[in-house]
Amino acid sequence: MARAMTELRLFNSLTRQLETFQPVHPGEARVYTCGPTVYNYPHIGNMRAYVFADVLGRTLCFKGYRLTHVINITDVGHLTDDADAGEDKMEKMAAEKAQSIWDIARHYTEAYWADIKALNIRQPAQWTIATDYIDQMIQFASDIADKHCYELASGLYFDVSTVADYGRLARAVTDDGEGRIDEVAGKRNAADFAIWRKTPPGETRQMEWDSPWGRGAPGWHLECSVMSGAVLGFPFDIHTGGIDHREIHHPNEIAQNQAHCCTNGLDVAANSGANIWMHNNFLVERSGKMSKSSGEFLRLQLLIDKGYHPLAYRMLCLQAHYRSELEFSWEGLGAALTRLKRLVMAVTNLRAQADPAKTPGPRFADHLKRFDAAVADDLNTAVALTVLEEVATTKKVDAGEKLAAIVTMDAVLGLGLLHLDRAELRVRPKAVEMTEEHIAAAIALRKELRSQQNYAALDRNRDELAAKGVEVMDGDPLGWDWKLGE
Ligand code: AMP
Ligand code: ZN
């Protein structure tokens, strides 16, 4: 049962309003998140979408719901353009790298999973892989083909005029929906989209399957409709994705779901597939490094190589509301890291004094109430974080109780404060050559020189270290001994 605290309110993109969460199945929450297309490494903007979905899942658990979360892996069907123009992203990358698509998919899926782990994003109940669901996709398409689709030389197309209110999620004008400049000859409506793409005569694709509409591959939108419905059942509670999906991908999923649910006699409430559609806003970066086509693009590994702990990026995400645009900068990341360090320092000190109590105790009831109110207010993590910091800095309270309150809150924010070691948070770029042992020896020497009050030698030692890229931090309020310079 949901906890008797503030009721959970979430912003539903369908109605553009905050709505009280009412689960389809009492006590349960079923969530589907559009996953990555595994043709390249995810950039940190992509990862914002999964940090958001993770905070949503953790909040649902905090509120007492049994969570079933599904994230898909798109290993076929996503074109270089969200409309029907362009090539299959997977086929294109495989051709460029002269590798098998299956190898490419495996490599980038593993890279994505490594980022998921590094960001403390919890494993969903199920990862659905698109190519494992081809039979169900063909079945789904067959079910709706007669009433809602038509065939052209290039594939089976969905006729958006056959469902009520197409595009209400995007608030787009149906006739010339954005992003559909490249017309496919013969389409009845500009917004119609392929749900099955036939392999052009004379060509072979690495990934293709037989279907009633010829050999080919499923459309990207079909994949998500099928996988979400197959695992969670229509209607399920919440469907998430980045805000770009609000324009084409999700309206098309909804149209298919409407068609499928009507065909199967479900009522209107079930038609959209999910009751609530939620979208995170974008992480933006001015110089264009977010683009996967630019040389040094912003992957999580780049942050790590420059010496930033990946959870500093999670902190950066948590500081903003998921529906606000978030601008990335190295200074901002540095500030988020410092904030994380302060919390880790506080928790490390508490742990030295006590184990977490079993429950937070009455001293923190008010803090927990405010924390709960913040996350229940459409996942206001920015406010929730400040409440957590208030707990961490409260004086003269039992360390165990304080730790317990922090643990309860961190279960929602997912920073993993109890498991982080302060030494791991040092900025230590890969490019700097001095080893940890050398630095430790130099720092030990500094301590000795200080005890001898040999300030001239201390200054010399500082300069020597600086020349090697190590900045000593005497008197740092966080108790850090050193960091590596740029
Ligand atoms: P893709 O692999 O392109 O399908 O994208 C994976 C997820 O990242 C989707 O939910 C996108 O909507 C989301 N996304 C893409 N770019 C950004 C960005 N700059 N900031 C936040 N989310 C993004
Ligand atoms: Zn999707």
pLDDT in tens, 423-446: 888 887 777 667 778 777 877 888
pLDDT on residue 275: 94
How confident is the model over 374-394, as pLDDT tens digits? 999 999 999 999 999 999 999
Report the range out of 332-336, 354-358, 482-486 with the highest average pLDDT. Answer: 332-336
Quick one: which atom of ligand 1 is closest to the CA of 241? 10
Query: Considering only CA atoms, which residue is closest to atom 8 of ligand 1?
Result: 46
User: Where are the chain's structural domains?
Assistant: 9-284, 306-423, 432-484
How confident is the model over 243-302, as pLDDT tens digits? 999 999 999 999 999 999 876 665 555 689 999 999 999 999 987 777 766 667 899 999
Percent above pLDDT 70 for the chain: 90
Of the listed ligands, the closest to the CA of 219 is 2
How confident is the model over 161-185, as pLDDT tens digits? 999 888 878 875 544 444 444 568 8
pTM: 0.91
Quick one: which atom of ligand 1 is closest to the CA of 47? 8
pLDDT on residue 110: 96
| Contact criterion met (CB below 8 Å) for 47 and 311 | no
CATH of domain 306-423: 1.20.120.640
pLDDT on residue 106: 93
CATH of domain 9-284: 3.40.50.620
| Contact criterion met (CB below 8 Å) for 318 and 324 | no
* Test site for ligand 1: of 13, 40, 46, most ligand atoms within 8 A of the Cβ: 46
Nearest residue to 372 (alpha-carbon basis) of 314, 344, 343, 412: 412
Residue 115 Cα to ligand 1 midpoint, Å, equals 14
pLDDT on residue 30: 98
Rounded mean pLDDT, 64-91: 83
pLDDT on residue 355: 86
Answer yes or no: is the C-beta of 81 below 6 A from any ligand 1 atom: no
Q: How far is the C-alpha of 464 from the C-alpha of 457, rounded, in Å?
A: 10
Rounded mean pLDDT, 62-75: 97
Nearest residue to 373 (alpha-carbon basis) of 141, 59, 142, 68: 59
Residue 2 has pLDDT above 70, yes or no: no
Quick one: which atom of ligand 1 is closest to the CA of 46? 8
Q: Given CA atoms 325, 329, 330, 335 in this order, what sign does their dihedral have?
A: negative
| Contact criterion met (CB below 8 Å) for 303 and 310 | yes
pLDDT on residue 435: 76
Calculate helix-pair angle for 399-413, 44-62, nearest 10 degrees.
120
DSSP H helices in 26-122 = 44-62, 89-97, 101-118
- In degrees, rounded to 5, the angle at the alpha carbon of residue 61 between the alpha carbons of residues 58 and 65 is 145
The pLDDT mean for the chain works out to 89
pLDDT on residue 183: 67
What is the residue type of 41? Answer: Y
- In degrees, rounded to 5, the angle at the alpha carbon of residue 397 between the alpha carbons of residues 395 and 399 is 105
